Structure 1
Amino acid sequence: MRYLVLTGLILGGLLGYYVLWSHLADQVAAQADAWIEGQRRQGREVSYESRRLWGFPYRLSLTLTKAKWDDPRQPLAPRLEAEEITAHLQLWQREHVIFDLPGRQTAIWGSADGAERRVSLNAERFRASLVIDGAGNWLRVAADLTKPRLQGPGDGVVRGEWTAGKLLLHARRAENVPPSLDLAMQAEQVMMPEQAEKPFGRAVQSLRLTGNLRGGFYGNTTDDLLASWRDGGGVIDFSTMALTWGNLRLAGTGSLALDRDFRPLGAMSGKMSGAIKVIELLEANGLTTPQQASAAKTSLLTTDEQPDNNGLLIRHIALTAQDGRLSLGDDPLLSLPSVLPGR
């Protein structure tokens, strides 16, 4: 009799747990439907080919295939497409969502000349996470990509194929007034397209950035978004800037903003290895004049090379971006164009 009672309690507990899981799964489905309906009321379009709820008994998982989102109201009519999206939630921690995004992810938008721009992304593994508060506001978002492959549009700065061994992205809401975000990015073994061959080669061994972005972005076009951020005192303060790209090895701290012509405006101080060779490459590729290169090298030679913790010989340097020029100390090195195409 005791075994029968124990068996009955176990079966009753399992049945109760399944009923609870089913109830929570229905809530997740209802929340997804409510979000889609909310998007549609705002003039956006959301669709998918199929939907599946699964994950029993450990988690709640929702998979959408051939998912699409677009906003035809916007001037650029942005559109997002995904071959498959799966959202995972723990029953006891539903404010933390884990996403798996296998297959191709595509972003499509228009342009002023009427042409369509398209960027597609594939990765061996693409996992992202989102943490929200009780009101549905996002607090943290992160992405972890293994062997991503980005195919840029036919023209523009990011045209061609970009690949990497590893890409990590992280953003955390810091303040609401004024808007402030803590950001971090790490990329390893990046291979850029052919147009990036000069001056240091297509292969970037590593790039690591951490900092805080202050200021909000408002408007419908890229110009409006950047202008609102710039005019509102927008700035990125970098606590870490580390780059290994061919002969260039650079590490330091700095800040970055935009001037009235949307050109980079900021300063950096830190250490550089192979600085003389870098300047020679800039001169050889016509990015700086012989006079500018000579002045910069003369200035560098007045400072001593010192070994860092790894025994690498480095020089302490100061870089400034102002009035459309990048300068090493007081010596102009090269011109800086607008970050907006066509300007």
Structure 2
Amino acid sequence: ETPIDPQAVHPSGDSLTLDLTTRDIGVPASLINGSALEVLGPAVEAFSTEIQIKGALDTRSADVEALTAWRDGGGTVEVASIELQWNTLRITANGTLALDGELQPVGSFATRIAGLEDFITAMEEGGVLSSSDASIARITLAVLTRASDDGGPPRAEIPITLQDRIVRLGPVALIQLPPIVWE
């Protein structure tokens, strides 16, 4: 069981703000390949986020009609912050999510990542990334990595996008997500 400690939920008009912090999140082996689990370990040490769901959303049901009305009314999920610590991988991000015409998530995030080199290698060794995509990721990472202002490890500032169920790190397609089937 994952201990989740919601710090605050703030409903306000047509929006809802959620602050969430959790620690020691077990990562199912089916979610990520074995090579990445070997490098990163079986648990995310810490995860926190602050999100605001904007737009009138009927939270009593997440059915197709309610989600379509929310999307058509300009509904978005504004992610003020995400922080993840998983072994050597450190990620901070902010961005926006919405739903496309097929009610699949789309989004864009400004992301700062440290410790990505080992993760790219693990994804390549596990067959998730081809050698050419891993090479592109390494070149992109080398160009975008800067020394940290706070004395921590160097980090890259890389856009992460989600469109057509494909998660991209800069120009590199990382993973295709299965479709969400709303009922």
On the 8 A contact 1:324/1:335 being kept in 2, the answer is yes
CA–CA distance in 2 between the matches of 1:285 and 1:233?
40
* 1:245 to partner: Cα distance: 2.1
Cα separation, partners in 2 of 1:226 and 1:289, compared to 1, 3 Å: farther
Please name the residue that 1:22 is paired with: none
Please name the residue that 2:84 is paired with: 243
On the 8 A contact 1:170/1:184 being kept in 2, the answer is yes
Cα separation, partners in 2 of 1:238 and 1:221, compared to 1, 3 Å: closer
Please name the residue that 2:179 is paired with: 338
* 1:223 to partner: Cα distance: 3.5
TM-score calculated relative to the size of structure 2: 0.81
RMSD: 2.6
Offset from partner CA, 1:255-298 (integer Å, 9 cap, x none): 11122333321111131011222222223333333322221211
CA–CA distance in 1 between the matches of 2:61 and 2:17?
24
On the 8 A contact 1:293/1:333 being kept in 2, the answer is no
Please name the residue that 2:9 is paired with: 171
CA–CA distance in 2 between the matches of 1:294 and 1:320?
19
CA–CA distance in 2 between the matches of 1:309 and 1:242?
16
3-state DSSP of counterpart to 2:30: helix
Please name the residue that 2:18 is paired with: 183
Please name the residue that 1:62 is paired with: none
Match of 2:110 among 269, 276, 281: 269
Larger gyration radius, structure 1 or structure 2? 1
Instruction: Give the gaps of 5 or more residues in structure 2.
Output: none
CA–CA distance in 1 between the matches of 2:169 and 2:29?
27
On the 8 A contact 2:166/2:173 being kept in 1, the answer is yes
Q: Does 1:215 align with 2:55?
A: yes
On the 8 A contact 2:161/2:167 being kept in 1, the answer is yes
Please name the residue that 1:202 is paired with: 42
Aligned-pair identity in percent equals: 26
CA–CA distance in 2 between the matches of 1:307 and 1:173?
36
Offset from partner CA, 1:169-216 (integer Å, 9 cap, x none): 421122x2xx11122111112224443463444301111111211123
Please name the residue that 1:35 is paired with: none
Number of equivalent positions = 177
Given residue 44 of structure 2, which amino acid in structure 1 is its aligned partner? V
Match of 2:166 among 318, 325, 330: 325
Offset from partner CA, 1:309-329 (integer Å, 9 cap, x none): 252221221111112222222
* 1:308 to partner: Cα distance: 4.0
CA–CA distance in 2 between the matches of 1:262 and 1:269?
23
Cα separation, partners in 2 of 1:193 and 1:325, compared to 1, 3 Å: closer
Q: Higher relative CO (CA 8 A, sep ≥ 6), structure 1 or 2?
A: 2
On the 8 A contact 2:121/2:134 being kept in 1, the answer is yes
Instruction: Give the gaps of 5 or more residues in structure 1.
Output: 1-148, 150-162
Q: Does 1:233 align with 2:68?
A: no
Please name the residue that 1:285 is paired with: 126
Given residue 25 of structure 2, which amino acid in structure 1 is its aligned partner? V
Given residue 73 of structure 2, which amino acid in structure 1 is its aligned partner? G
3-state DSSP of counterpart to 1:170: strand
3-state DSSP of counterpart to 1:260: coil
Cα separation, partners in 2 of 1:282 and 1:229, compared to 1, 3 Å: farther
CA–CA distance in 2 between the matches of 1:284 and 1:268?
27
